Structure 1
Amino acid sequence: MSTADAVDPATTDSATAGPSDPSPPDLTVAERAAPPATLPEVHADGLTWRGARREDAPAVLTILNHLAAADNAPFRWSLAEIEERLAAPYRDLDRDFLLGVDGTGALHAFADVHTPPGDETVARAILQGGVHPTRRGEGIGRELLAWQIARGRQKLAASALADRRVPAWLVVHMEDEAPETLGHTFERAGFAAQRYYSDLRRDLSRPIPPVVAPPSDSTLRLVPWTPELDEPTRLARNDAFRDHWGSQPQTRETWAEDRSAFMPAWTYLVVDDAPDVAALLSSPDTDEETAAALRAGDPLVVAYQVASKYVEDFEVRGFTFGYSDNVGVRRAYRGRGLAPAVMAAGMRAMADDGMQYAALDVDTENPSGAVGLYAALGYEKQGGSRMLTIEL
C-alpha cells in the first residue's frame, strides 16, 4: 500500500498546532479526552467480538483489501504490511483492535486505534478499519466508529502527552473517491476535514531532468542509501517536517515500520561531509537528537528521497510505478536545489528498473514549496485524499 509519508498526512508532517488552535488549550489532553470507563458494545447478528492476534494477519489483509476496493482506494495492502502492524511493540492487540468474527471464524469487521509514540506537540489517536461490504447497511459501522472514538479517548488520556496542554485529535483518513455514505458516517460522528492531499504521478517515458550533483568543491555528496545512513535519514526527516502542519517526529520504532516495500536502489540522499557543527549546535532549530549526532561525529544527511515499490497497487492503478514515501531537506540547507537532485536520481533509478511512472502524495498546503517543485518536475494530479479530525 502506498502511503503519503512524503507529506506526513497524519500525517501525514505549522507542525505544532492546527489552524483552529492559535493558543495552548486551557485543559490537559487527559481532561479534554474525558475517557469513558467502559467501551460501547458493538451489536451485529451472528458476530462475536475480540482483540487481535498476530496470526490474524491473513484475515485482516483480506478484509482491508475488500474495504479498499469498496471505498475506491487506489491501493491494496500486502501481508507483510499487516504483519508489521500487528507486531508493532506499542500496539496492544487485546485492547486496541476489535475484530468481528462469525461462527466459522471469518472476519466481517475490523477496527484499529493507535497513538503514535513520537508525538510531541499534537496528541493523536488514529482510527482505521471498517465493515465488510456484505455487512454494510446494518448500522455496524456507526457502532464500530463509536467504539473507536471511545478507545481513542482512552488512548489519548493514557498517552505520554496526557498531562500536556497541547492540541489533541481523533484522526481518520478518507479517499476523495470514497462513497458519500462513508463521509456522512464520519460527519455524523463529529469529524471535519482538516487537510487535503494530492496524489501525483510523473510519466517516466518523458525526459527526466539531469541528476545534478553538488559542485566538486562542495562538502555535499549525492549518494545512494546505505544501512549506516538510515538513522541520519530519520533525523533529517524530523528536521525537514517540523514546519509542516500537524507533523510529529518519527521515533526509531515508527521509522522502522512500513519498510517491507522499501527500495534502497531508488533511495537517494545528500550528505554533508563537513557541516558547520558550531553553527548548527548554536541554532535554536537544531533538535536534541541531531545535536547529539553532531557531537558524536555521525554522518549528517541533509536531503533525501525515500522510495518504495508497492507491487500490490500496480493492477489497481493500471500502471507500474516507484513511490516516493518521504522527501525532504533540512531547513538549514534549503534553497540549494537539493530536492530536485534527489528526486531526479530516484526517478532515473525507477525508470532504469522499468517503472512507467513515479508517484507520491503531497499536502496541498505544504509550506516548503513542494507543490511547485513537483509540478516543475512534471508531476500531475491523479486523485486525492483528506484527513478528518475531531479536535478535543
Structure 2
Amino acid sequence: MSTADAVEPATTTSAPAGTSDPAPPTRTVAERAAAPATLPAVTAGGLTWRGARREDAQAVLTILNELAAADNAPFRWSLPEIEERLAAPYRDLDRDFLLGSDDTGTLRAFADVHTPPADETVARAILQGGVHPDRRGEGIGRELLAWQIARGRQKLAASALADRQVPAWLAVYMEDDAPETLGHTFERAGFAARRYYSDLRRDLSEPIPPVSAPPSGGTLRLVRWTPELDEPTRLARNDAFRDHWGSQPQTRETWAEDRTAFMPAWTYVVVDDAPDVAALLASPDTDDETAAALRAGEPLVVAYQIASKYVEDFEVRGFTFGYSDNVGVRRAYRGRGLAPTVMAAGMRAMADDGMRYAVLDVDTENPSGAVGLYATLGYEKQGGSRMLAIDL
C-alpha cells in the first residue's frame, strides 16, 4: 500500500483552514479524553465480535482490500504489511482491534485503533476500519465508529502523554473520491477536515534532471542508502520534520516499521563528510540524539529520499511506479538544492528498473516549499486525500 508519508500527513495536524492555530490546552490529555469505563456494544447486523489474532492476517487483508476497492482508494494492502501490524509489540490485539464475522465465519467488519508510541508533543489516536460493502446500510458502521471513538479516548487517557497539556485528537483518513456516505458518517460523529494531501506523479519517460554532485566545497556526498546509514537517516528525518506542524519524532523501533516494500536501490542520501561539528553542537536546533552522534563521529546524513515499490497498487493505478515515502533535508542544510539531488537520483533508479512513473503524496500546506519543488520536477496532481479529526 502506498502510504502518504512523503511529507508525513499521518503525523501532521493543524487548525481548520482559514483559522489561526488553536490556543494551548489548559487541561491534560486524560481530562479532555474523558475515557469511558466501558466500550459501547456493536449489536447491529447480528455479527459475532472479537479481538484480533496474528493468524487473522489473511482475513484482515481480504476485508481491508475489499474496503479499499469499495471506497475508491488508489492502493491495496499486502499480506506482509498486515502481518507486521498484528505483530507490533505495542498493539493490544484483544482490545485495540474488533473483528465482526457472519454465521459462516467470514469477516464482514473490521476496526483498529492505534496510538503511535513515539508521540511527544501531540497525542493521537488513529482509527481505521469499515464494513464490507455487502453489509452496509444496516447501522453497523455507526456503531463500529462509536466503539472506535470510545476506545481511542481510552487509549489517549492511558498514553504516555496523558498527564501533559498537549494537543490531542482522534483521526481518520479518507480519499477525496470516497463515497459521500463515508464522509457523512464521519461528520455526524463529530469529525471535521483538518488537513489535505495531494497525490502526485511524474512521468519517468520525460527527461530526468541530471544527477550532479551536491554543492558545498566537496564535503557533501550523494550515496545510495546502506544499512549503516539507516540510523543517521532517521536522525535526519527527525530534524527535517521538526518544524512541520504536529510532526512527531521516529524512534528506532517505529522507524524500522513499514519496510515491507522498501527499495534500497531507489533510496539515496546526502552525507556531509566534514560537518562543522562545533557550529552544529552550538545550535539550539540540534537535538540531543544528533549531538551524541556528532560527538561519536558517526556519519551525518543531511538529505534523503526513501523509496518503496508497492506492487499491489500497480493494477489499481494502471501503471508501474516507484513511490517516495519520505523526502527531507536537515534545516541547517536547506537552500542548497539537496532535495532535487536525492529525488533526481531516485527517479533515475526507478526509471532504470522499468517504472513508468514516480509517485508521492504531499501535504498541501507543507511549510518547506515542497509543493513548488515537486512542480518544478515535473510532478502533477492525480488525486487527493484528507485527514479528519475530533479535537479534544
- The TM-score normalised by the length of structure 2 is 0.97
- 1:69, distance to aligned residue in structure 2 (A): 0.3
Alignment partners' CA distance in 2, 1:21 and 1:127: 24
- 1:102, distance to aligned residue in structure 2 (A): 2.1
Tell me the alpha carbon deviations over residues 186-211 of structure 1, each in whole angstroms, 9 at most, x when there is no partner. Answer: 00000000000000000000000000
2:108 matched residue in structure 1: 108
2:39 matched residue in structure 1: 39
Gaps (5+ residues) in structure 2?
none
1:10 is paired with a residue whose SS is helix
Aligned residue identity for 2:301: V
Aligned residue identity for 1:180: E
Q: Does 1:179 align with 2:186?
A: no
Tell me the alpha carbon deviations over residues 163-183 of structure 1, each in whole angstroms, 9 at most, x when there is no partner. Answer: 000000101000000000000
1:155 matched residue in structure 2: 155
2:254 matched residue in structure 1: 254
Q: Kindly tell me: are residues 13 and 150 of structure 1, through their superposed partners in 2, closer, same or farther at Cα, counting changes over 3 Å? A: closer
**Contact 1:114–1:125 (8 Å) recurs in 2:** yes
Q: How much is the aligned-residue C-alpha RMSD, in angstroms? A: 1.5
1:52 matched residue in structure 2: 52
**Contact 2:13–2:195 (8 Å) recurs in 1:** no
Percent identical pairs in the alignment equals: 89
Tell me the alpha carbon deviations over residues 260-279 of structure 1, each in whole angstroms, 9 at most, x when there is no partner. Answer: 10000000000011111111
Tell me the alpha carbon deviations over residues 118-164 of structure 1, each in whole angstroms, 9 at most, x when there is no partner. Answer: 11111000000000111100010010000000000000001110000
2:268 matched residue in structure 1: 268
2:43 is paired with a residue whose SS is coil
**Contact 1:21–1:167 (8 Å) recurs in 2:** no
- 1:20, distance to aligned residue in structure 2 (A): 5.6
Bigger CA drift: 294-303 or 59-68?
Answer: 294-303
- 1:334, distance to aligned residue in structure 2 (A): 0.1
Tell me the alpha carbon deviations over residues 236-281 of structure 1, each in whole angstroms, 9 at most, x when there is no partner. Answer: 1111111112211111111111101000000000001111111111
1:289 matched residue in structure 2: 289
Q: Kindly tell me: are residues 127 and 36 of structure 1, through their superposed partners in 2, closer, same or farther at Cα, counting changes over 3 Å? A: same
- 1:214, distance to aligned residue in structure 2 (A): 2.0
Bigger CA drift: 42-51 or 165-174?
Answer: 42-51
2:172 is paired with a residue whose SS is strand
2:95 matched residue in structure 1: 95
**Contact 1:13–1:242 (8 Å) recurs in 2:** no
1:235 is paired with a residue whose SS is helix
Alignment of 1:58-207 (within 5 A): 58-207=58-207
Q: Kindly tell me: are residues 197 and 216 of structure 1, through their superposed partners in 2, closer, same or farther at Cα, counting changes over 3 Å? A: closer
2:306 matched residue in structure 1: 306
- 1:216, distance to aligned residue in structure 2 (A): 8.2
Aligned residue identity for 1:71: D
1:278 is paired with a residue whose SS is helix
**Contact 1:10–1:246 (8 Å) recurs in 2:** no
Alignment partners' CA distance in 1, 2:22 and 2:64: 37
Alignment partners' CA distance in 1, 2:19 and 2:104: 48
Alignment partners' CA distance in 2, 1:389 and 1:46: 29
